[in-house]
Amino acid sequence: MLQEIILSPFRGFCAGVDRAIFAVEECIERFGTVYVNHQIVHNTHVVRDLESKGAVFIEDIAEVPTGSYLIFSAHGVSPQLKEQSRNFKLLPIDATCPLVTKVHIEAQDYFRKGYSLILIGHAGHQETLGTMGYAPMTLVQTVEDVEKLEMHNGKIVYLTQTTLSLDDTKDIVFALKKKFSNIESPKVEDICYATQNRQDSVKELAERCQLILVVGSQNSSNSKRLVETAKRFGIPSYLIEDESEINFDWLENVTTLGLTSGASVPEFLVKNVLNAITSCFGNISVHNLERIDEKIEFALPRELN
């Protein structure tokens, strides 16, 4: 019988997500209808809410009327897409997370210095697609990909997608360093603070819980990594969009449940899940792990200043 729910303290929007959503809301208030290239962040509820306020989400910028405002999502886009938006006479607003922009700048800088670039990331993810537009680079997703690599340039560096599994990435980096003794790493870790804090918190939950629920959308990379982190530590875990996706059969024989969310998840969704579970089981102890304040804020896109 469920007796206790332990909440990860690292929930709700990270600074990059908060900035991107606020940018869309600010544009709607100033300009009315605005267009957004791809989902501004990977959360279904956030997208629906912004659509109800006047945002139009598109995947092909050819759909955007000339002279319209076009917002680039937090995941970032390639310079080619930015150029295309100017050719279409659109008014672009770049809501790319500054930590993703950091990787873009690194890629350009290392390429100018004559390095061969390796990107650790997930094929097809919006962030990876954008980053790979900034310089020629080779994508690796697994240790097996590393084993197949052939690099002939003397100077090699690896970069990473910002929302990866810390543990999986360490394994890939270890394989890269074993194969290429001269490979260099970015001066500052590319995996973002919010991803790291949330995964570390899941590891702590895994020491105390029999099951961990992660609130987040199926296309959210950082949310999926939380589920993988729990399973890596031998703890069953499920990714749920909201309270409607709870399967109470999962909780059979669970006395302590861990609850967390991805970095693009509104806090009210976590509260709804918590309320649904406590309503079902009655008097349950609920408390948070100790929190360290992230204290990270980003300025609005320069086009809105």
CB-based contacts of 268: which residues, under 8 Å, 6+ apart?
Answer: none
Query: 157, 147, 165: which is closest to 182 by C-alpha?
Result: 157
Which one of the listed residues 4, 26, 106, 127 is annotated catalytic? 127
In the 8-state DSSP scheme, what is residue 250?
G
- Classified as helix, coil or strand, 251 is helix
CB-based contacts of 31: which residues, under 8 Å, 6+ apart?
Answer: 69
Active site residue 189: no
In what order do the strands lie in the sheet containing 256-261?
237-240, 211-215, 256-261, 4-7, 285-288
Instruction: For residue 23, give the H/E element and its range.
Output: helix 15-31
- The burial of 157, by beta-carbon neighbours within 10 Å (0-12 exposed, 13-18 middle, 19 or more buried), is given as buried
CA 191 to chain centre: 10
Active site residues: 127
